[in-house]
Structure 1
Amino acid sequence: MSVKDFAGKTVIVTGAASGFGKVTATRFHEKGASVVMVDKDAETLKSVAEQFADNALAITCDVSDPEAVEKMFSRAIGHFGQLDVLVNNAGIAVPGQPDEIDNATWSRVIGTDLSSIFYCSRTAIPHLKKTKGNIINVASISGMGADWNFPAYNAAKGGAVNLTRSLALDLGKYGIRVNAVNPGLCRTAMGKALVEDSEKAKRFIERTALGRLGEPEDVAPVIVFLASPEAGFVTGATVAVDGGTSASNGQPPMS
């Protein structure tokens, strides 16, 4: 891909204040895109957006709220006039045994990690029809095989993977592509607790072919590639970006 592959394009990235979202927004901006950075953490979002010299708009929004999503899109399209790429990246993870997860926690995780993908994608469709744009959903390898102690997160990410396929089937006739990435454990705010637990991190690395944890910089280029013309015949795909963790079927090496 060339340096300015996304010149004249507008990209919305949710969960853009940190982690995958921050690095992804930066990559798109470096490639010439106008970037709408969305997050509910207003203070952090503002400080990140200030690093972008131009062609960037920061919008504080809780994407689990469908009315807030409508307002966010109205402002974004009003500012830049079009939409070419939607990156549904916002997500949270709350641990707990199934009998420990209360209704509010379940609703919050499903709302942020799954419902937000539907709300944002539904709102984006009329605009993406005009540009034959595309959607990239950030799911997780937890959407391919479950983890212990994360029932809500596992359910949401599994739903995100299959929603990606469903959207791809229904939107392909409009020239809209929909794909997902499944990151493994990475050094992000969400993965911080596991990364800081050296014993858990060691066990996870033992299951990873490349022998290390991931970084946001490992995931963002894959998102950008899927949004590019070079992936023009790729839709309904789920790409694992996990250093080979999912290839091992969860088993550590024999020796």
Structure 2
Amino acid sequence: MSHPEINTIVRIISDIFARRFLKELKYLSQKYIISMVSKNQIKLITSLQQKKFRQANGLFLAEGIKVIGELLQSDFELEHLYETEAIFGNVASDKKTLVSENDLKKISALTSHNNCLALFKIPQPGRISQSGLIAALDDIRDPGNLGTIIRLCDWFGITQVVCSMETADLYNPKTIQATMGSIARVKVDFTDLKTFLKHTTLPVFGTFMDGRNIYEETLPKEGIVVFGNEANGISKAVEALVTTKISIPRFGQLQKTESLNVAAAAAIIFSEFSRRK
């Protein structure tokens, strides 16, 4: 083979590799370039702070690498992920955009901002479990309390929470944040609580100030534990369906504390049920 022919082959091969290199370079530059969040995107994302828009779009917000990471490893389906340079590349997905910290602040629902925000699809409700220990929430209004109770359920191995229709929205950003990712492992359903309790075959425990001392009560492995509204407790209609009233005794000498926060009470009661297994 003559020198001119060799030079031609070398030039062709060089051109091929050069084109491939430029193609890869273009892809990487597009992949890691900071994108502006459009007005329409901002409008959609900020609207998801309200329940009616979450329902209309079938989407909810999650913020922070811990919460988002847990959701990505679960059955929740990612719609889109927005990340800053600080953590970009930690999550392998083609449904993500690199954004500036300033843009992320614009779309964040939290006062303390994170390095990432994601939109997830709201799943269709499934069948409510009728086995094991179940937490039932009667008109819990504070999203932080709801999220904390879900996190406590995850800690104590309780996988089912049943909420009255009046209970705070599961997909409120404050609820999601308070779960710290436990929403990925605890199934939460909203239903007519009275109908659910009326048809269950499990024993129903209700938390009351004048209930039986939980430390002296016989506690089964399976059952439903009902927690009431922060201000008014368990409603009269639900109270009528409770088979056993339980209470956490006060040990303080002055005993001036009126009651425990519902999430604090849930932690104590879940702990005692778990200890008896």
The answer to whether the superposition gives a TM-score over 0.5 is: no
TM-score normalised to structure 1 length? 0.34
Judging by fraction of residues, say which structure has more helix. 1
